[in-house]
Structure 1
Amino acid sequence: MAAMEAFCRDVLGADIIYADEDFAAIELLGSVFMLHADHSYLDNAMTGTIAGAETRGAGVELRLYGANPDAVEAAAREHGHIVLAGAIDKPHGLRESYVVGPDGYIFVPSAPLAG
Structure 2
Amino acid sequence: MDFETVSPEDFGASLKGFGLNLLVTDVKRTAIFLETVFGMAAKRLSTDFAILTHGENILQLHADSTYHSNPLLGLLPENPPRGAGLEIRLYDCDPEHAAAQCVAAGGTILQAPADKPHGLREAYILCQDGYAWVPSKPLISQEEPV
TM over 0.5: yes
Uncovered stretches (5+) of structure 2, i.e. residues with no partner:
1-26, 142-146
| RCO higher in structure (CA 8 A, sep ≥6) | 1
Structure 1 equivalent of residue 28 of structure 2: 2
- Name which one, 1 or 2, has greater alpha-carbon Rg: 2
Cα RMSD (Å)? 1.4
Structure 2 equivalent of residue 64 of structure 1: 90
Structure 1 equivalent of residue 130 of structure 2: 104
Higher strand share: 1
Q: CA deviation digits over 1:55-102, x for unaligned, max 9?
A: 222332211111111111111133242111111111111000011111
Letter in 1 for 2:101: A
Residue correspondence of structure 1 range 41-56 to structure 2 within 5 A: 41-50=67-76, 52-55=77-80, 56=82
Uncovered stretches (5+) of structure 1, i.e. residues with no partner:
none
Question: How many Å separate the matches in 2 of 1:80 and 1:19?
Answer: 19
Percent of pairs identical after alignment?
37
Residue correspondence of structure 1 range 15-94 to structure 2 within 5 A: 15-50=41-76, 52-55=77-80, 56-94=82-120
Give aligned pairs, total. 114
